[in-house]
Structure 1
Amino acid sequence: MEKLVIIGLGLIGGSLALDLKQRMGFKVYGIDQNPDHIQKALELGIIDAEMNPSELSQASVVIIAVPVNVIPHVLKKVLDTIATNTLVFDVGSVKNEICKSIENHPKRMNFVAAHPLAGTEFSGPEAAILNLFDEKVNIICEADKTDWKILDKAISLFKKLNMRIKMMNPIEHDRHIAYVSHLSHVSSFMLGKTVLEIEKNEQAIFDMASTGFASTVRLAKSSATTWTPIFLENKENVIRSLDEYIKNLIEFKEMIVNNDSDALNKTMKETNYIKSILNGIKQPN
Structure 2
Amino acid sequence: MKKVHIVGLGLLGGSFAKALKKSFPEWDITGFDSNPEHLSLALEMGLISRSLEVPEKDSAVVVLATPVDTLFGLLVETLAQVGPDTMVMDFGSTKGELCRQIADHPKRNQYLAVHPIAGTENSGPAAAVTNLFDGKVLIICEMEKTDIHLKGMAYDIFEAINMKLRFMDPGDHDLHLAFVSHLSHVSSFVLGKTVLDKTEDEKNIFDMAGSGFASTVRLAKSSPAMWAPIFLENKKNVLEAMDSYIEHLRHFRKMLAEDDVDGLKHNMREANKIRDILDLKE
Structure 2: gaps (5+ residues)? none
The Cα of 1:140 is off from its aligned counterpart by 0.1
Counterpart residue number, 1:33: 34
Superposition pairs of residues 253-268 of structure 1, within 5 angstroms: 253-268=253-268
Structure 1 pair 205/61, CA: closer, same or farther in 2 (3 Å)? farther
Counterpart residue number, 2:136: 136
TM-score relative to the length of structure 1: 0.96
Structure 1 pair 211/88, CA: closer, same or farther in 2 (3 Å)? same
Which residue identity lines up with residue 49 of structure 1 in the other structure?
R
Superposition pairs of residues 191-206 of structure 1, within 5 angstroms: 191-200=191-200, 204-206=204-206
TM-score relative to the length of structure 2: 0.97
Superposition pairs of residues 1-285 of structure 1, within 5 angstroms: 1-25=1-25, 26-53=27-54, 55-200=55-200, 204-282=204-282
Q: Using the alignment, how far apart are the partners of 1:10 and 1:280 within structure 2?
A: 31
Paired residue secondary structure (1:139): strand
Which residue identity lines up with residue 15 of structure 2 in the other structure?
S
Structure 1: gaps (5+ residues)? none
The number of aligned residues is 281
Q: Using the alignment, how far apart are the partners of 1:187 and 1:257 within structure 2?
A: 22
Q: Using the alignment, how far apart are the partners of 1:211 and 1:201 within structure 2?
A: 23
Which residue identity lines up with residue 226 of structure 1 in the other structure?
M
The Cα of 1:143 is off from its aligned counterpart by 0.4
Which residue identity lines up with residue 70 of structure 1 in the other structure?
T
Q: Using the alignment, how far apart are the partners of 1:57 and 1:210 within structure 2?
A: 53
The Cα of 1:280 is off from its aligned counterpart by 4.2
Which residue identity lines up with residue 35 of structure 1 in the other structure?
P
> Are 1:37 and 1:124, in contact at CA under 8 Å, matched by a contact in 2?
yes
> Are 2:57 and 2:82, in contact at CA under 8 Å, matched by a contact in 1?
yes
The Cα of 1:129 is off from its aligned counterpart by 0.9
> Are 1:56 and 1:78, in contact at CA under 8 Å, matched by a contact in 2?
no
> Are 1:138 and 1:166, in contact at CA under 8 Å, matched by a contact in 2?
yes
Partner deviation per Cα, 1:199-234 (whole Å, 9 max, x = no partner): 237863442221111000000000000000000000
Paired residue secondary structure (1:57): coil
